[in-house]
Amino acid sequence: MTTFYCPNCWREVSEQATICPHCHTDISERVSQADYTDKLIAALRHKEPMTPVRAAWILGERREQKAVPALTKIARKAKDPFLVESAVEALGKIGGTTASDTVRAATHHSSLRVRVKARDILRDLASKGLLRADQ
Ligand SMILES: [Zn+2]
């Protein structure tokens, strides 16, 4: 079963919904997959603080390589530790050199919750053999 998300607020909506019950946006027209990814990446800069957190989570679940630069920027520069944590988590799921370098850098973040999350992700990646032994 596919989970549907409102392309405005990125909360879960039912497949049949035509109006988002959360933000009341008309969602009767389904967006294409390419637009969907772009909208998710754009939502990382949304003003409502939980929207970027949700967008980062969905991008991670979808393993969106295209989102790595935007997520990396957030992980390195954003001030909200919740958002940084979700970006780091998403990068851990997407994987690759840039993503894992960013997760590694996040183990030195000023926020404890980000450091703990980054260490958990690295441990998880290492246990799956996804990190090089010399790093
Ligand atoms: Zn909505």
Ligand 1 centroid to residue 42 C-alpha, Å = 15
Question: What pLDDT, on a 0 to 100 scale, did the predictor assign at position 132?
Answer: 62
Ligand 1 centroid to residue 91 C-alpha, Å = 24
Q: How confident is the model at residue 32 (pLDDT cuts 50, 70, 90)?
A: confident
Tell me the C-alpha to C-alpha distance, in Å, between residue 131 and each of 37, 95, 128. 27, 10, 8
32 DSSP assignment: P
- Residue 92 domain flag: yes
- Residue 12 domain flag: no
Q: What is the pLDDT of residues 95-120, one digit of tens each?
A: 999 999 999 999 999 999 999 999 99
Q: What is the pLDDT of residues 2-18, one digit of tens each?
A: 788 999 999 999 989 99
- Residue 40 domain flag: no
Ligand 1 centroid to residue 82 C-alpha, Å = 21
If one counts the domains in the chain, the total is: 1
Ligand 1 centroid to residue 26 C-alpha, Å = 8
- Residue 11 domain flag: no
- Residue 2 domain flag: no
- Residue 79 domain flag: yes
Tokens of residue 96, six digits: 């690759």
- Residue 134 domain flag: no
Ligand 1 centroid to residue 8 C-alpha, Å = 5
Containing structural domain, residue 80? 50-127
β-pair partners for 19: 26
- Residue 6 domain flag: no
CATH number (domain holding residue 76): 1.25.10.10
Identify whether the C-beta of residue 42 lies closer than 8 Å to the C-beta of residue 74.
no
